[in-house]
Amino acid sequence: MILILDEKQFIFHLSLGLLSLLRFTECENIRLVGPSRCSGRVEVFHQDSWGTVCDDEWSIANAEVVCRELNCGTAMEAKNGAFFGQGKDEIWLDDVQCVGNESSILQCQHKPFGQNNCDHSEDAGVVCLGHVRLVNGTTHCNGRVEIYHEGQWKRVCSDWGKQAAQVLCQEAGCGDPLAKTETLNFGDARALPAIKTICSGNEISLSQCSLLKVNESCDDATVVCGNSQPIRLVNGTNRCSGRVEIYYSSQWGTVCDDRWGMQEATVACREMNCGNALAVKYKAYFGRGQDQVWLDDIECTGHEKSLTQCPHRGFGEHDCENDHSEDAGLVCSETVRLINGTDGCSGRLEVFHDGRWGKVCNNNWSLKEATVVCKELNCGVPVKSQNNVFFGDSSLRGFTSRCTGNVSSISQCQLQEHMGSCAGVSLACAGQPQLRLVNGTDRCSGRVEILHDDQWGTVCDDEWDFRDAEVVCRAMDCGTPQTAKSSAFFGEGQGMIWLDDVNCLGNETSLVHCRRPSFGENNCGHGEDAGVICSATIRLINGTDMCSGRVDVHRGDHWSPAFNVNWGRNEATVVCREMNCGDPVKMSGSFGQGGDLRGYEIHCSGRETSLTQCSFRDYSRSATNRVEEASVVCSGNVRLTGGSTRCDGRVEYFDTKQWGTVCAESWDMNDATVVCKQLDCGRPHKLTQLGPGTGQTWTDQIECNGRESTLTQCPQRPYPDRTCNNTVVAGVSCTGSLAIRVANSNDECSGRVEVRHGEQWHTVCDTDWTLSKAQVVCEALECGRAMNAPGAAFYGPGSGPVVEASSSCFDNVTSLQQCSSKGFTRATCGHEHDAGVLCAAQVRLMGGSGECSGRVEVFYKGQWGTVCDDDWEMSDADVVCRQLGCGHAVSAPTSAHFGRGTGPIWLDNVECSGQESALSHCSHPGFGENNCGHGEDASVICLGALQKPEITINPGVEVNWGDKVEITCTLVTEHMGGTFLLKKTQGSFQMEKFSDQASATFVFPKVDFSQKGSYYCEYQKKMASQIIYYPQGIPADLSVVVKLEKPSISLVSPHAMVIYSPDTVSVTQGSTFSVTCSIHSIYSKGFFSLTNLNTNNTKTMTGFGYSVLYLATFELPSVDIKDQGSYTCRYSVNVSAMSFSSAPSRTLYISVTSTSSSSVVAAVVGVLVLLLLLVVVIFLVWRRKWGVSEVIVQFSNRFGAAIKQEMEDKTTVALDERERNNQLYEPCTPSPEQSKTDADTDSNAERAPEDLAGKVCYELEPLVVS
C-alpha cells in the first residue's frame, strides 16, 4: 500500500511529531519525588543533575502545569515548605510564575537556572489527582471527566452513574456531587476514545472502578461537586457583590484586604459563577464580618479556579485587625461576562438569563447593545472596528437581544432564546478610563491625567511610587517605567484632581483597579500632581528585574523585536544607558522567545544615547530559521565602589545616562536596605560616610521605606533649600561584604551561621562548634555577646558546601577574615549538623545611683542607643536586671525618669515574657524601628548586684572519650539552700541539683561526643514570695577527644622473643618475611594499615591483643622488586560512628636484592656459622668445667618502668666484645636522654596503665638486632 500525503498534510503531521518530541524531552526533565507517581517534591534536570524548585511564587497555576506535563490529571494542591522532604544539591528554579496553560514548567517565567535566594527547606511540591482530570471547569471541582487508562487519556461516557460521581468528588477532595440545577457546558472530546465506568461506591479512586471500552458513540460525562472550601458574598446588592467569605474547618470567615486586587476579584467572580470583576472594595465596605479572618496576602494570577488555590499566608494566618475593619469585598457583573479575551474588556459575550449562562447571537446585534455592555463592564466605548474581532464560539444556548430606551445593563434589554444554532458575538471595548501624559518630552512621559465623567483631571502624588508608574506605563503601551515624579514635576494641571492615595501592586491593567479612595476624594492641590517617565522606544521583556530581558523596540506605532544578528556589547551598552540601567553585564540570556517573525537587525557604535540613533534594518525570520531575539542583562542603576567587595563602599546611582554619588544628609537605613537588596548583598550592616567620589553628586533626597526592590522605586524629592553638603557622600556596608552572616532568622543577630569565601557562602559544621567560637561571630556582626551556640540545624539546614569550625579560623575576627580570603577546610558532616548562633546586644544603665539602676541603653552596630517606653513593663525590666546580674526588678520607670538619652532609639514596643536571657531576645519590631522621642526613654531599678556561679571541670577541659568527668558549680552567697542548674549553650540540656552547701557536682561516668560543648551554671533560691534568679555564669568549654599515639613498625626475628626495628633492611628477592605494627591504646577493635609510600599500596589487618597492647603482623610472601620502598604503619578506630587515625609510624625502608648477590652473602654466612658452632663447643666445655651462672636480661617498657625477668640458662657461652655490645643484651633501662624523649613523645598522647604486665621485654620502639 502506498500512502500519499499532500504538502499541507505532511507539514501538519511533521509539526505534531516535533511537538510530541519536544513534550517528551521536557517531560524527561521533570520528576516528582514522593509517595506516588503524581505527588511529591518537584525536581528538574539541568546540566546533568537533578535539582529542586524553590517555593517562592509557587502557586496552583504552577502545579497545574506540572501535573499536566506529567500526565497526572488535575492539580489538587501546591505544596510549600519542603512538604515532601528536603532535596539535595542544586536548587535550579526560583520565582516560577506560570499562567497555567504552558505545556512545561520550563516554559514558565522564572529566574535563570541556579539563581535563587532559597534553601532546601523551601522546596516546592505538588499533589495531582493522578488518573483523573476535570476539563474546562469553572473550578477544580467541576468539568468534563477524563481518565488516564492504558497509557492515554480517555473520555468517560455520561451513563457512568451516581456511585462513580461520588467516588470522583471524594477523590478530588470536593465533597459530594451536586444535583444539576442547570446544564453546564464543558465542551466535548469526541476525538478521544470512550470508556465506561462501573463503581460500587466504596472505591477511593475512579481508577479502581471497572473500566470498559466503548465502541459506540456516547455523550461526555460531566460533574459538579460541592467544593470543600466554598465561597460566598455577603451584604451585597445582588448575588455577585458583597463581602467575600470562605468556608474552612466547618466555619465561615472573611478575607483581609491586604494585597486584595483585581486578579483576586477575577478568580472570586469566576468561582461564584458571576461575570467580570468590576471593582474591588476595601475597609469592610460591605460591613464587618465575624469570627475568623481566614485569608490574608492573597496573590492570584487571575487564572486560578478557586480563591484558596492562590498563594496566601495560610488559613487563619494574618496581620490584620481582629475587629474585621479590613474585610475585603468585590463587585462582579451579575448578568454579563466576556470570555476568552485578551483583557477584561474584550472577549466572547455571554449573558446570565433564567438561571443559566448563554451566548448572545450576532443576529440583530448593533452598536447600541455593544455600548450598553461596554459601559456596564466599566470598559468605555466599543472600539470603532469590530470586523476582525473574534474570540471563539461556544455550544451554549443562544439569545437575541434588543435594547431600547436608556438602559444601563444588558439584562434590562429584551432577551429571547434563539431556536437553532447561531454565531456568538465577540466584543472589544476601548477600556475605561482613558489616560494621557501631559507636558512630557515624548509620548511616554508627563503629568498623569485621567478621563472621568467626560472630564480630564490629575492624580495626587500622595503614596505615588514606582508600582503606580508601572501600571501607567503599561496602560499607555510604553516601555519600562524609569521614575515616578511628584510635586508637579511636569507643571500644575487644571480642573479636577480625580485620584489620591493610589496604591497599586504593579500588575494591574488600569489605575482604577488599584487600591484608592473614590473619584474626586482627595486632600491635595495641583502643586502635588503626579507624573511618570517611561521608556518610549525600548522595553525589556521577561527579565528577572527592570534591567534585564528580551529587547523590544517601538517603531511605526507598534513594538517589534530586535534580533540577535550581530548583536554585541555596543548595542547592549546603548540599551543599558537608555534604560538608566548602568553598564552591560551579558549580551544574552534565557528570557524566552516571542512569536513575531518580523523585527530589526540593529547596529550601534556604543556612543549613542538612544537605540533610535542606531542604524535599523528590517529582518524577517522563517519558521525554520532559529535566529533568537536579542537580550541583555545590565548591571542595574546602583553600585558600591571603593570598598573591599562589591557589597560595601560608596553608593553610586545611574541617572540621566551617567553615574553619580548620593548626598549623605538624608541617607538612612531604609535607603541602605533597598541598595543591599537590589545588589543581592543581604541586609545593611552599617551606614558609612565617605569622601566625595568622582563625577556628579545627586542632590535629591531619596526617601525609601525599605520595602522597595530597587532604588528607582523610591520617591525622590529636591532638598527644601536646593543645597546639599556634597563633601560627604552616602555609603553602606552590606552583610554580603562580611566574612560571616546569619540566615533563616527574624533578626540580624541570630540564625544559621554562614561564612563567605569569594562569592560563595558555606554553612559551618557543629562538630567543634563552641560558645567561644560563636562569640567571634557575634563580634564580627557587632551583635554583642554570644548567649547560645546551637547545632543540629537549629535554624534549619542550609545549602552548598559545609566547612569545619576550626580554631584557626574562629579564634578571633581577624582570623575569620583571613580564612574568608584564603578558604576554609571542608567538613564531612551534612546540613543536618549546621551550626547556629544567638547573640545578645549589650545593655547598660545610665544616670542612676549605681550599676543596677538607670536609663536602659543598648549597644548595637557600634553605637549606644535608648529604649522607648511604649509597652514597657516589669517583665521587660526583669530581663534587663537579670542580664546585668542585678537580681529582680523593683520598678520599671518611664518618661525618661533618669534623664533623656542621646543617639538612636534602638528598641520600641518591647514585649518580654520575663524568662528571656537578654532584652534583645524579647519581641520587638526591629532595631531602629520606633515612633518615639527621647522624652520616652525607658528605665529600670533593680534589687542589686548578685554574684555569678563559677564552673570547674575535672580532670580538665580536654578529656578522652570514655573518661569520667565531674563538673562543679560553686557560689558563695548568703542565700544558701538553693538549686544549681548545669546547662549547655547548645540544645536544651539541663541538670538540676539542690544543695545546702556552696557547690554542687554533676558527674558524667563515661563521657562521649554528645557531651562536649559549652557549659555554664545558674543558681536559683526560692523564697516565700518569689524566686531569686542569679545571673548566668561564665561558660566553660568541654572538649572530648580521641588521642592515638604513633604506632611502631618492626620485623619479627626467626628466633623467638626477639624483635628487630632497623631503619633499613635488605631482603632477598623471592623470600618471605613479616612486618609487625603495634601500639599501646585504650581503644580496642581497631585495625592497622601498612602502606608502601613509594607505590601507595596499602594492606589492612584487624589488630589483636588484650588490655592496652594491640598488634598485627603482615606477611610479605615472595618479595619482588615492586615491593621495595619505605613502609609505615597507621592505627585506626571507630568511636561513636566516627573514624579516627593515628599519625604514621616511622618509616622502614625495605631493599630487595637479587639472588646472585645473595649467594655470596650466604657463603660468608655459612663460614660464620661454622665458626660460631666451634665457639659454642668451646663454651660448653668451659661451662661444664666452671659451673653454671645466671644471666639477667632486663627490658624496659615505654612507660619508664623496668620489667625484670630471671632466666636460668643451663648453657654457658663465651661472648666477644662485639656481641656484648649487641643491643639485645643491653639493659632496657633508658638513658636520661631517652627518657626525656619518650616523655616528650607521650605528653600529648593517651597513657597506658602503669601496671602493664608482660613476660618479655618489649618496647614500642622494639629491640633491634642490626
The answer to whether 1020 and 981 have CB atoms below 8 angstroms apart is yes
CA–CA distances in Å: residue 546 to residues 56, 640, 726, 755? 19, 19, 29, 30
Inform me whether the pLDDT recorded for 446 exceeds 90.
yes
* pLDDT, tens digit (0-9, with 9 covering 90-100), for 70-121: 888 888 788 888 888 899 888 999 888 887 778 888 888 888 888 888 888 8
User: Percent of the chain scored above 90 by pLDDT?
Assistant: 14
Inform me whether the pLDDT recorded for 917 exceeds 70.
yes
CATH superfamily of 950-1041: Immunoglobulins (2.60.40.10)
Q: Which residue has the higher pLDDT, 1029 or 1114?
A: 1114
Q: Does domain 841-942 have CATH number 3.40.190.80?
A: no
Q: Which residue has the higher pLDDT, 52 or 220?
A: 52
Inform me whether the pLDDT recorded for 1030 exceeds 60.
yes
Helix (H) or strand (E) holding 435: strand 435-439
* pLDDT, tens digit (0-9, with 9 covering 90-100), for 645-675: 888 888 888 877 778 888 877 788 888 888 8
Using CA atoms, how far apart are residues 427 and 389, in angstroms rounded to an integer? Answer: 7
Q: Which residue has the higher pLDDT, 1192 or 1233?
A: 1233
Q: Does the predicted TM-score (pTM) go above 0.75?
A: no
* pLDDT, tens digit (0-9, with 9 covering 90-100), for 317-341: 888 888 898 999 999 988 898 888 7
Closest to 377 measured CA to CA, from 278, 263, 294: 278
Average pLDDT over residues 221-230: 75
Residues facing residue 1014 across a β-bridge: 1037
Q: Which residue has the higher pLDDT, 888 or 1187?
A: 888
pLDDT for the residue 863: 80
pLDDT for the residue 866: 93
Using CA atoms, how far apart are residues 884 and 877, in angstroms rounded to an integer? Answer: 11
Name the band, by pLDDT with cuts 50, 70 and 90, for residue 1059: low
Domain range list for the chain: 16-130, 142-224, 231-334, 338-428, 435-534, 538-634, 638-737, 740-839, 841-942, 950-1041
pLDDT for the residue 184: 62
Architecture in CATH for domain 231-334: Roll (3.10)
CATH of segment(s) 538-634: 3.10.250.10
Residue 600 φ/ψ, nearest 5 degrees = -135, 145
Closest to 812 measured CA to CA, from 840, 773, 755: 773
Name the band, by pLDDT with cuts 50, 70 and 90, for residue 149: confident
Query: Which three cell numbers, joined as nine digits, stand for 914?
Result: 520575663
Using CA atoms, how far apart are residues 260 and 135, in angstroms rounded to an integer? Answer: 28
pLDDT for the residue 855: 93
* pLDDT, tens digit (0-9, with 9 covering 90-100), for 1147-1175: 989 888 876 544 555 555 566 767 777 77
Inform me whether the pLDDT recorded for 1093 exceeds 50.
yes
Inform me whether the pLDDT recorded for 1241 exceeds 80.
no
CATH superfamily of 435-534: SRCR-like domain (3.10.250.10)
Average pLDDT over residues 907-936: 86
Using CA atoms, how far apart are residues 199 and 214, in angstroms rounded to an integer? Answer: 16
Beta 75-79 vs 91-93: how paired, if at all?
unpaired
Same CATH fold, 231-334 and 142-224?
A: yes
Q: What is the DSSP string of 481-531?
A: EEEEE-TTTT----SEEEE-S-B--S--SSGGGSB---TT-----GGGB-E
pLDDT for the residue 792: 85
* Block residue for cell numbers 580554631: 807
Name the band, by pLDDT with cuts 50, 70 and 90, for residue 857: very high
Burial of 47 (0-12, 13-18, 19+ CB in 10 A): exposed
Architecture in CATH for domain 338-428: Roll (3.10)
Instruction: Dihedral sign for Cα 820, 823, 827, 830, please.
Output: positive
Amino acid at 406: N
Inform me whether the pLDDT recorded for 13 exceeds 50.
no
pLDDT for the residue 1213: 35
Residue 356 φ/ψ, nearest 5 degrees = -150, 160
To the nearest whole number, what is the mean pLDDT of the chain?
Answer: 80
Four-way CATH pick for 740-839: 3.40.50.920, 3.10.250.10, 3.40.50.300, 3.50.50.60: 3.10.250.10
Closest to 309 measured CA to CA, from 195, 163, 499, 139: 139
Inform me whether the pLDDT recorded for 1193 exceeds 80.
no
pLDDT for the residue 387: 65
The answer to whether 749 and 785 have CB atoms below 8 angstroms apart is no
Average pLDDT over residues 846-855: 86
pLDDT for the residue 1091: 93
Beta 905-907 vs 863-867: how paired, if at all?
parallel
The answer to whether 583 and 544 have CB atoms below 8 angstroms apart is no
The answer to whether 1256 and 1057 have CB atoms below 8 angstroms apart is yes
CATH superfamily of 142-224: SRCR-like domain (3.10.250.10)
CATH fold of 16-130: Mac-2 Binding Protein (3.10.250)
Contacts of residue 614, defined as CB under 8 A and 6 or more positions apart, other chains included, come to: 571, 574, 602, 603, 604, 605, 608
pLDDT for the residue 1119: 85
pLDDT for the residue 1180: 72
pLDDT for the residue 451: 85
* pLDDT, tens digit (0-9, with 9 covering 90-100), for 1034-1046: 888 898 888 888 9
Helix (H) or strand (E) holding 369: helix 367-376
| DSSP secondary structure letter of residue 934 | G
* Block residue for cell numbers 553638603: 725
Inform me whether the pLDDT recorded for 16 exceeds 80.
no
Which of 243-252, 531-540, 902-911 has the weakest average pLDDT?
243-252
Average pLDDT over residues 632-638: 85
Q: Which residue has the higher pLDDT, 545 or 601?
A: 601
The answer to whether 859 and 842 have CB atoms below 8 angstroms apart is yes
* pLDDT, tens digit (0-9, with 9 covering 90-100), for 875-896: 899 899 888 888 788 888 888 8
pLDDT for the residue 1155: 63
pLDDT for the residue 133: 84
Using CA atoms, how far apart are residues 858 and 783, in angstroms rounded to an integer? Answer: 10
Average pLDDT over residues 708-735: 74
Query: Which three cell numbers, joined as nine digits, stand for 727?
Result: 563633601
* Block residue for cell numbers 538607670: 854
* pLDDT, tens digit (0-9, with 9 covering 90-100), for 1108-1120: 788 899 988 888 8
Beta 1013-1022 vs 978-984: how paired, if at all?
antiparallel
Cβ count near 522 (within 10 Å): 21
Q: Does domain 638-737 have CATH number 3.10.250.10?
A: yes
pLDDT for the residue 1264: 37
Inform me whether the pLDDT recorded for 982 exceeds 90.
yes
